[in-house]
A and B are shown apart, each in its own frame.
Chain A
Amino acid sequence: MELKVKQVQRVDGAKEALYLPALFGGLRITVRHFWRNLFGAKDVVTISYPEEKRHVSERWRGRHRLTRLDNGFLSCVACYMCETICPSECIHIEAGEHPDLSVEKYPVVFDIDELRCVFCGLCVEACPKDAIRMDTGVISMAYTSRHTFDFTRDLLKDSYDPKSHSNTKYEDKDLPSPKDQTEALPNSLGVPAT
């Protein structure tokens, strides 16, 4: 088989050798950009991250949240579907019986280890009750200690602001240690509306 050789045209001649036309051609471009950005940064594409945030699509799989019914109770019926389908096994549910008879079953413990989560969205698809969603729009979770990534039920249910679709930033102090919370849970029965 013959090898195909592509001949590239070399531009030679006085204009190239003089170097100045090419130089001024380049300067025209850079000066144009400089001039446009000198007053008001018109072409700048940078997003100054902590102050500005990039627009996130509504389908973006961000951090999870637990939805509620109209009467304020959690939609979750602790059916273990999400825990079963989760490929990274980051969801931990313990079911319990609710004192209110209209709720027959509810999650006493609903923990998600966000460090293990791969954000595949399978839990959302598996859920028969539309009880778990990933539409918080939280792009990045950056905390300084490992245990703050263990999101408990109460954190998950309160972590959504549908109006602003904004990233609710959780400071460390807002996050009670999971140990305290799981101990508190059986007594609190705190599922009804806030």
Chain B
Amino acid sequence: MENVLEIIMIPAVLAIIKIMVIILLFAMPLGTFLTLMERKWSAMIQDRVGPNRANIGNFTGHGIMHIAADGLKSIFKEDTMPKGADGFLYLIAPFFGLIAAIATFAVIPIAGPIGNFTFQVTDIEPGLLFIFAITSLSVYGAVLAGTSSNSKFALLGGTRASAQMISYEVFMGLALMGVFMVYGTTRVSGIVDGQNEYWFGSLIPMWGVFTQPLGFLLFFTALVAETKRAPFDAPEGESEIVAGYFLEYSGMRWSAFMLAEYVSLVGVASLITTLFFGGYHIPWLHLWENAPQWLVTILQIIKFSVFTLFFCWFQIQLRWTVPKFRFDQTMALGWKKLLPLSLINMFVTAFVILAFA
């Protein structure tokens, strides 16, 4: 028993276990679940029933079997490659987006540390800069898929995706500058702990959404644009360029694109929770002085999950509410409105901190 504990406590082994737990028990199941929920919830919004036919025996579970049906279908479907496609790039492109989406979870803590043990794969000093680096990697998935498919629609989609993601990355970073300044660190655990403090005694928690409301709006918009979902889904643009950059894909590779979209949806939701809604910290819990540690940890995981699920739902709700931006509108909004706003937000934050702190 002690030997097993010793092996587990080797940092590398521990990191691998955490990766498996967070990804296999949190990110991927939630992402897969959302592929069904997107259809189910959109049906509710539009007064429909949604998928409810897949079954084993008589069990349909309100459509939950569709997850299994979709998975089986995409595994057995033919994996086609268009004539003249760039073979190697075409084959690896879908997994860029997926890897980038999954890697986001490396720095997100899902509960407070117990002693030396943290509920976070790694708490590196650059923290959020790592996330910026990773999200910009996901551009490659779209661009490589677009260029290697040997299809003009896919190429157009890839071009749009690269232009959009690169422009929105600019102020995604700038919007977070305010958060860095307020909490004085780029380390994710530092930002989360900074949000555990209170204004006016213990009245209002210093959540990012209260200290940086404009920053929250800008960052959320940028992240939605990064995931290429409505209203920023011009790269996919069903009505004009068929399906955009992953037009030529089929079978499991197409599913990898879809899964990447939903995992990055979960990633966005957990990032928003972590940076702007106190992460795992439950407000006013410090008033309960002798709370048992295990209960606090469980409550923290629940709080984090609930907020993450809420923002997943919110993004889906957003997608089925707003119409798509035309591509030039996407660009105009990004460069002409949101970029100046994020600069103003940065300067105002800096001024306030200088003047009052």
Contacts and interface: CB of A to CB of B under 8 A. Distances in A.
Interface of A: 17, 19-20, 23, 26-27, 29-31, 33-34, 37-38, 41, 43-46, 48
B222 to A, nearest CB: 15
A30 B49 contact: no
Interface stretch (B75-83, B121-129, B297-305, B318-326): B318-326
A46 B321 contact: no
Nearest to B319: A30
Contacts of B46: 33
Nearest to B314: A27
Nearest to A48: B49
B52 to A, nearest CB: 8
A20 B49 CA distance: 30
Q: Interface SS of chain A: helix, strand, loop or mixed?
A: helix
B353 interface: no
A108 B318 CA distance: 67
Given A27-B321, A33-B47, A41-B44, 12 more contacts: A26-B322, A27-B318, A29-B321, A33-B44, A33-B46, A34-B317, A37-B43, A43-B47, A44-B47, A44-B48, A44-B49, A46-B49
5 contacts: A17-B337, A23-B321, A27-B321, A33-B46, A37-B43
A31 B337 CA distance: 27
Contacts of B217: 20
Nearest to B52: A48
Interface in B20-68: 41, 43-49, 52
Contacts of A45: 47
A31 B46 CA distance: 10
Nearest to B48: A46
Contacts of A44: 47-49
A41 B49 contact: yes
Nearest to A25: B321
Given A23-B321, A23-B322, A30 B48 contact: no
A34 B48 contact: no
B51 to A, nearest CB: 12
A16 to B, nearest CB: 12
Contacts of B322: 23, 26
A155 B217 CA distance: 69
Contacts of A38: 44
Given A46-B49, A48-B49, A27 B317 contact: yes
A41 B45 CA distance: 10
The 8 closest A-B pairs by CB, nearest first: A37-B44, A26-B321, A30-B321, A46-B49, A43-B47, A30-B45, A34-B44, A34-B45
A30 B320 contact: yes
B24 to A, nearest CB: 29
- Between A33, A37, A45, the greatest number of chain B beta carbons within 10 A of the residue's beta carbon is seen for A37
A11 to B, nearest CB: 16
Nearest to B221: A19
Nearest to A18: B337
B118 to A, nearest CB: 36
Contacts of A31: 317
Contacts of B52: 48
Nearest to A47: B49
B261 to A, nearest CB: 20
B270 to A, nearest CB: 22
A82 B46 CA distance: 47
Contacts of A27: 317-318, 321
A37 B321 contact: no
A143 B280 CA distance: 59
B53 to A, nearest CB: 9
Contacts of A46: 47-49
A38 B47 CA distance: 10
Interface in B238-270: none
Contacts of B49: 41, 44, 46, 48
Contacts of B47: 33, 37, 43-46
B312 to A, nearest CB: 14
A190 to B, nearest CB: 40
Contacts of A41: 44, 49
Contacts of B48: 44, 46
